[in-house]
Structure 1
Amino acid sequence: MSKHTAPFSRFEWQIAWRYLRARRADGGVSTMTWISLIGITLAVAALIITLAVRTGFRDEFVDTILGANAHVEVFAQSYVNENGQVERTITDFDGWADRITQVPGVIRAAPLIKGQVMANAGQNNAGVEVFGISYDDLLAIPRVAKPESFLGDITAFEQGIAIGSGVAAELGIGLGDKIKIISPNGVKTAFGTSPRVNAYDVTYIFTAGRWDIDRTRVYLPFAEAQSFFNREGAADQIEVIVEDPERVDRLIEDILAATEEPSSYWTWRDRSGAFLRALDMEDNVMFIILSVLVLIASMNITSGLIMLVKNKGRDIGILRTMGLTEGSILRVFFLCGSLTGIVGTIAGVILGCLFAINIDAIFSAVNYFAGGGVWDPSIRGIYRLPAKLEFWDVASAVGLSLTLSFLVTLFPARKAARMNPVEALRYE
């Protein structure tokens, strides 16, 4: 046989395939091959599912943040009013909003009244956060104007109050019912400040997709919120929506300059940055852990291949005496191990992608058989477990699995190639 045959020639594939086929005499080798195949399949599938859930959870979490909250909140610097009280209200709120809107990269700037109050309906009470906002600005909030689900008509907002579905559930009220808003900072009298209590008709109930928003968020018409919180002629802050929230820091200097007065800011990253950083760190740790799982599964290939080399010692000796080079023997056993890794990786990709695509149905079945309560939105913030397949996530899982499978195959394949044919045939 020629010593100049091309690498991975047809006969090398044929020999490798013959060794991989199950034979009764090599039952142990066949069993190890199946164990390696199943192990790699499950490891790759687990890695893809984890990466898909990680991406989906982060995207859903960020989308609910950006879809129901300002990207930048702009505040006035503290000052002492004519009564000697320290305030941070913005009197020229329309001017601030108009000038900030003209900053390149800014989509919308709206004055806002914000306050924490007690909501009451019958015997039920709940702490809520009131946002005073105009009707046009409310329509510009995606998760409120176009929520996952809603009751009522948002066009009737100025005739009543809009509340989150969690607030409605906590108070046991529905569309058209009345809700009382109680603020301890109410009417100032000669005997001090008395609580202010107003009742409003519930005209709109929304589900934004975030438990903490739906459970605490209430919207009042801007003029009504000014009156209720004693903010006549003023606003608490300007909420700003930008084109690219991921690069919001680049616009801060221009936004603050547009106010033309001393001001400060708070971005969406400042509000949720700690949680997002924790997610990123958890993602990296999970990837490392699952990479180790893929490595362990790949090591099974080494065990099976070592057994195969041991059982095929006589065949190796015969092939070498027939003229096969060390390179050919190495490639034959490299193919035996790498094919297991390739097939296992392909099967793992298919299984992982199918699981990620059908995760809602699978999770619903798990939740049903577990009796419910598997996913607690009060802890995780969102209502479901999302999954989003990304090309680079799948590619990284495939690359990791194939690289490890090829690397762990080299040692036993090299050992087979260096086997002395005389020693292999001595006792035959």
Structure 2
Amino acid sequence: MFQRFEWMIAWRYLRARRSEGGISVMTWISLAGISLAVFALIAVLAVRTGFRYEFVDTIVGANPHVSVLSYGEVLPNGTLTRTVSDYDALTERLSGVEGVVTVKPVVTGQVMATANGRNTGAQVIGIRPEDLAGIPRVASPEQSQGDIADFAGGVALGWFVAQDLGLQAGDMVRLISPEGTKTPFGTSPRVKAYPVTYVFQVGRYDIDKIRIYMPFDEAQIYFNKPELADEVQVTLTDAEQVDSFAPRLIAAAGDGNYLWTWKDAAGGFLRALQMEDNIMFVIMSILVLVATLNITSGLVMLVKNKGRDIGILRTMGLSEGTVLRVFFLCGASIGVVGTAIGTLLGCLFAIYIDQIFGFVNWVAGGGVWDPSVRYISALPARLELGDVLLAVTLSLSLSFIVTIFPARRAARMNPVEALRYE
């Protein structure tokens, strides 16, 4: 498509010094602008993808993909209960659904935890030891104390629950529930002390801040729910495809039960992330567009400076198409090289983000990342081939498009007018 001499002329124009009528300075400015714009776009896309991946992973890694709950029934005394009495049969039916990995009944309740003169509210989940060991983020946490194998002899605390109470593995914690022993004078709170056998950090602040795991049988006794469960939790092979599993799960669960998926629980966060993703991509695309416009300004100056050369080339027999391709090569080369440099910098940033962010945190004196606001414990980045290709395609497309106008202007220049005053 491009002749060898066209490449030679384009290269000669790009590297010419200003004293020779070239635009070397504008070339470097355009190159730097495109490189930085592509670098910023890839960095933003990597952080965006990493943030969503880490956010979802902390949800599905420490929470069920689907919770099967009961609509409830009215007891003879007129009270409404939403507990599940046939949880073993329900667990067996759900386990037979294709794509289901684990099914576990749980008991849940709200308590006040106290130790060392400190108090904090907490969510207690009663779960069997073998089921707790199957929760990925709890079994393989970011950091931990104690041994999950000792869970049957006590309780497991979230990292920030233990910090708030000044506890470590091996200490005692008292749990206070308002739904305690029923007496002729009313219901008295239930207070019981448990050894802390395991402390975990799943990496999600709102979980580490409130969660306490208790053995299932003990939770049934503690919350006055003998032979009952509050819900049955299901883990699937693919959490992202939870909607496609729903019909089969509800059919297996039977009448009187309904599903509550992780997408229902975190729907607001996911929609906010999607909206932010779209806005950031538009903003960064505008940044790339502004950077590529430097190519247009540089080429316009080049065409003006090289008017005599264009006139001579035309009188020597070069066609309009040849001149257009020469100046198109000038602009496109800047776009390609700038995109390549920006892509390399963006990929390196995504790969070494932990070290870069650690340095920034050190320079700022710490405290740059607040997990209580962002819910995850570190700034993530995930480099995806699709994101890199999207950034490269956008940059190259804009670079080629903005090059066409000055290139056509050069091609349509009248050689007589270009040489009139020479």
TM-score using structure 2 length: 0.98
- 2:4 is aligned, of 7, 10, 16, to 10
Matched, 1:244 2:238: yes
- Matched residue of 2:198: which SS? strand
Count of residues in Structure 1 that have an aligned counterpart in Structure 2: 422
1:178 counterpart = 2:172: yes
Residue number in structure 2 paired with 1:159: 153
Secondary structure class of the residue paired with 1:200: strand
Aligned residue number for residue 193 of structure 1: 187
**Is 2:58–2:204's contact at 8 Å kept on the other side of the alignment?**
yes
Structure 1 residues 10-409: aligned runs within 5 Å: 10-26=4-20, 29-409=23-403
- Structure 1 window deviating more from structure 2 (316-325 vs 247-256): it is 247-256
Cα distance in 1, alignment partners of residues 146 and 229 from structure 2: 28
SS at match of 1:239: strand
Segments of structure 1 that go 5 or more residues without pairing to the other structure are: 1-6
Aligned Cα RMSD in Å? 1.1
Aligned equivalents of 1:214, 1:108: Cα separation in 2:
23
- For 1:168 and 1:123, the matched residues in 2 are separated by 13
- Runs of 4+ in structure 1 over 3 Å off: none
Distance change (3 Å), C-alpha of 1:260 and 1:11: closer
| 3-state secondary structure, aligned to 1:412 | helix
- The letter for the 2-side match of 1:180 is R
| 2:23 maps to amino acid | V
The answer for unaligned runs of 5 or more in structure 2 is none
Q: Following the alignment from structure 2 to structure 1, what is the Cα–Cα distance between the partners of residues 411 and 99?
A: 64
Distance 2:418 2:16 in 1: 23
Amino acid at match of 1:364: G
Indicate how the Cα distance of structure 1 residues 325 and 91 shifts in structure 2: closer, same or farther if over 3 A, else same.
Answer: same
Say which is worse superposed, 99-108 or 194-203, in terms of deviation.
99-108
| Matches of 2:210 and 2:348, distance apart in 1 | 37
Contact 2:154 2:195 survives alignment (8 Å)? yes
AA matched with 1:316 = I
Q: Is the CA contact 2:172–2:193 (under 8 Å) kept in the aligned structure 1?
A: yes
Q: State the identity %.
A: 61
Q: Secondary structure at the match of 1:403?
A: helix
Give the C-alpha shift of residue 26 in structure 1: 4.9
Q: Distance in 2 between matches of 1:231 and 1:28?
A: 84
Normalised by the length of structure 1, the TM-score is: 0.97
Instruction: Spell out, residue by residue over 1:362-419, the C-alpha distance to the aligned partner (whole angstroms, 9 max, x if none).
Output: 1111111111111110011101111111111000100000000000000000000010
CA distance in 1, matches of 2:2, 2:264: 57
SS in 1 for 2:209: helix
After TM superposition, give the deviation of residue 256 of structure 1 in Å.
2.3
Retained in 1: the 8 A contact 2:332–2:399?
A: yes
Deviation at 1:55, TM superposition (A): 0.7
In 2, Cα distance between equivalents of 1:27 and 1:316:
13
C-alpha separation between the residues in 2 aligned to 1:182 and 1:54? 41
Task: Indicate if the aligned counterparts of 2:65 and 2:239 stay in contact, CA closer than 8 A.
Answer: yes
| Whole-angstrom CA distance in 1 between matches of 2:117 and 2:299 | 72
2:60 partner letter = L
TM-fit CA distance, 1:261: 3.8
Q: CA deviation at 1:244?
A: 1.6
CA distances 1:239-279 after superposition (whole Å, capped 9, x unpaired): 01111211212222222222334111210000011111111
C-alpha separation in 2, matches of 1:308 and 1:193: 88
1:28 Cα offset (Å) = 7.1
> In the alignment, does 2:403 pair up with 1:418?
no
